[in-house]
C-alpha cells in the first residue's frame, strides 16, 4: 500500500499539508526577524511549537510513498534553513541586548560612584542629600 491510513484517518496528503503549513509559518517568522519585530516573533514561535507537536503526531502514524518522502525532505530542508537563520538572528539580538545591559549597568555604577561627589542625592536610606 502506497500510503498507510490509521484509525484517525490521517493520510499522506494531511502530513504533507502540515509540513507545508509549517514552512509558511516559519517563513512568516523569518519576515518578523528581518523586520526586528521581536514581540510578534515570540507569539509566532508559540504557534510554531504547537504546529511541530501536531506534526510529530502525524509523522509517527503516516507512511509516505517515495514521492511523499521526497516532498517531505524538500520541505524539511527549507524549514530548517529558515529556522537556522532565525536562530542566528536571535543569538545576535541576545548578544546585542547583553551589551546594552552591560553599558546600562556601567552607567548606573558610575552614577552611583560619582553622584555623591557632585552633591546629588545618593539614594541612601537616611534620605539626606549629600
pLDDT digits (tens, 9 = 90+) for 55-65: 999 999 999 99
pLDDT digits (tens, 9 = 90+) for 35-47: 999 999 999 999 9
Q: What is the pLDDT of residue 43?
A: 92
Query: How many residues are present in the chain?
Result: 130
Helix (H, G, I), strand (E, B) or coil at 33: helix
CA atoms of 83 and 25, how far apart (whole Å): 11
- Three cell numbers at 52? 511541530
C-alpha closest to that of 47 among 66, 67, 24, 63: 24
> What pTM was computed for the model?
0.69
Q: What is the pLDDT of residue 7?
A: 35
Q: What is the pLDDT of residue 115?
A: 74
Spans of the chain below 50 pLDDT: 1-9, 130
Amino acid at each position: 500500500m502506497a500510503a498507510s491510513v490509521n484509525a484517525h484517518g490521517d493520510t499522506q496528503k494531511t502530513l504533507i499539508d502540515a509540513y507545508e503549513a509549517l514552512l509558511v509559518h516559519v517563513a512568516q517568522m523569518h519576515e518578523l526577524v528581518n523586520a526586528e519585530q521581536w514581540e510578534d516573533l515570540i507569539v509566532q514561535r508559540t504557534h510554531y511549537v504547537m504546529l511541530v507537536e501536531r506534526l510529530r503526531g502525524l509523522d509517527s502514524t503516516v507512511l509516505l510513498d517515495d514521492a511523499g518522502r521526497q516532498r517531505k525532505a524538500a520541505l524539511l530542508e527549507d524549514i530548517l534553513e529558515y529556522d537556522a537563520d532565525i536562530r542566528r538572528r536571535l543569538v545576535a539580538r541576545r548578544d546585542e541586548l547583553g551589551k546594552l545591559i552591560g553599558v546600562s549597568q556601567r552607567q548606573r555604577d558610575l552614577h552611583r560612584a560619582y553622584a555623591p561627589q557632585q552633591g546629588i542625592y545618593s539614594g541612601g536610606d537616611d534620605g539626606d542629600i549629600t
